[in-house]
Amino acid sequence: MWARPPHKKALDHMWYTGELATSHRENFTKFYDLAERVFPPLLSPLTEAAQLDWLCVEALKRMPFATAREIQQFWGVVSGAEVKTWAQNNDVRQVEIQGRDGSWTTALAPRDIDTQLNALPPTTSRLRILSPFDPAIRDRTRLERLFGFEYRIEIFVPKAKRIWGYYVYPILEGDRFIGRIELKADRKPGALHVLNLWHEEDVQWSAVRAKKLTAELARLAKLAQCSAVVWK
């Protein structure tokens, strides 16, 4: 999956152009097949304008406010100029977003963003361990600007150069990132190992937070098919 010999580059190119699709994976081995044998047939071919509209609308739904550059980078298949043209001809509005450091950024949002915000349920106080690939944190620059949380996954960083660890998860409490935790699942004995835990400098690690973390680790252990949580 990680190797990039010439035949893999060719397969990836055919995947990007839509000739091939990923049919399934076995561990880290990716299997390709003809796209028409993986995806259901379209009722009618989409025009380039319709494709661009879908990509921009769906990116904005998932964020749900973003700069033109963030929309462009979400899928990585449209240009910045195309996004700007799309924004001029669609039902979006400009908004000002304040980051954790107090700075303001001009962004795009759906016309009914106020209605969407008012319809949101109250922010939960639950503590959550997020995947490093969660859509909320996939854009590390955006994450740091909005939440003041600097994060990177270090699985591709040589061990001697890692700041945190091989596989470290962000910890979200309500609408605030309060720390990070290094975990490793050992499925043979059914144990989820907690290797390290760090909290942000301005976070006081209380008994209440410790209890919430214990509950979240139990949920994650169940997801990872582990029957026990073991602290190293």
**DSSP string across the chain:** -----HHHHHHHHHHHTTSEEEEEEETTEEEEEEGGGTSPPPSSPPPHHHHHHHHHHHHHHHSSSB-HHHHHHHHS-S-HHHHHHHHHTSSEEEEEEE-TTS-EEEEEEETTHHHHHHTSPPPP--EEEPPTT-TTTSSHHHHHHHH-------TTS-GGG-SS-SSEEEEEETTEEEEEEEEEEETTTTEEEEEEEEE-TT----HHHHHHHHHHHHHHHHHTT-SEEEE-
- The per-residue pLDDT for range 96-132, each reduced to its tens digit, is 999 999 999 999 999 999 999 999 999 888 999 999 9
Reported as a pLDDT band with limits 50, 70 and 90, residue 42 is confident
Contacts of 67 (CB under 8 A, 6+ apart): 105, 106, 107, 108
Task: Measure the CA–CA gap between 50 and 53, rounded to whole angstroms.
Answer: 5
Half-sphere exposure of 185 (CA within 13 A, CB side): 13
pLDDT higher than 60, residue 1: no
pLDDT higher than 80, residue 2: no
pLDDT higher than 90, residue 223: yes
199 forms bridges with which residues in the sheet? 179
User: How high is the pLDDT of residue 184?
Assistant: 95
Task: Measure the CA–CA gap between 136 and 143, rounded to whole angstroms.
Answer: 8
User: How high is the pLDDT of residue 197?
Assistant: 97
Mean pLDDT over all residues of the chain?
92
- The per-residue pLDDT for range 163-174, each reduced to its tens digit, is 999 999 999 999
Mean pLDDT of 49-78: 93
